[in-house]
Amino acid sequence: MSQGDSGIDLETSMGYLVKEVSSALRAAMEEVLRPLGMNITHYSCLELLAQRPGLSNSDLARGTFVTRQSMNVLLQTLERDGEVVRDAVPTSGKALPTELTPRGRERLAAATAAVRGVELRMLADIDDPDRQTVFLALRRMARALREPRRATDASPER
């Protein structure tokens, strides 16, 4: 790329690299979850419910990065398949708390083992100190992007 180009150099772009890793991770996870009859959203929903029983449809949608409507469809399927149960009557407001069933916990255990294998493969060539550094850097990046933009961030320097 020449000095006058205003484009992003993909070879040195942190955002592009993060997207590349995200895409590769997603593909690897889908590959190991597919034989289990799951996708990433299904797995993420079960994992969230195992760690935080009683989450609402809205909480689960936010935690799995899908719309409330998509989560509602998934929850209906999981309920029909006996992986989750939801109260028939909201405990407060309109939210129906959701919990895993024993079948849901069994399915989650198999999926967790598969996903853990993907993560171990992803991190295999990174030693513990570097893992910690990468983890903290990614946390900071996510936090910085969630914070409101500062006036100095509004336009790039020329």
Q: What are phi and psi of 92, to 5 degrees?
A: -155, 135
pLDDT in tens, 112-143: 999 999 999 999 999 999 999 999 999 999 99
Bridge partners, 98 (sequence order): 86
22 vs 86, more confident:
22
Q: Mean pLDDT lowest for which of 15-19, 40-44, 86-90?
A: 86-90
**pLDDT for the residue numbered 12:** 87
**pLDDT for the residue numbered 132:** 96
**Position 153: which residue type?**
D
Rounded Cα–Cα distance for residues 30 and 19 (Å): 16
Short-list 53, 66, 57, CA closest to 108: 53
Compute the mean pLDDT over every residue in the chain, rounded to the nearest whole number: 89
Q: What Å distances lie between residue 76 and 35, 43, 147, 151, CA to CA? A: 21, 15, 34, 44
pLDDT-derived band at 96 (thresholds 50, 70, 90) equals confident
Q: Percent of the chain, pLDDT > 90?
A: 74
Rounded Cα–Cα distance for residues 91 and 34 (Å): 35
The encoded tokens of residue 55 equal 């989450």
**pLDDT for the residue numbered 119:** 97
User: What SS3 string covers 9-30?
Assistant: CCCCCHHHHHHHHHHHHHHHHH
Please answer whether residues 24 and 35 qualify as being in contact, where contact means their C-beta atoms are separated by less than 8 angstroms.
Answer: no
**pLDDT for the residue numbered 93:** 62
pLDDT in tens, 20-60: 999 999 999 999 999 999 999 999 999 999 999 989 889 99
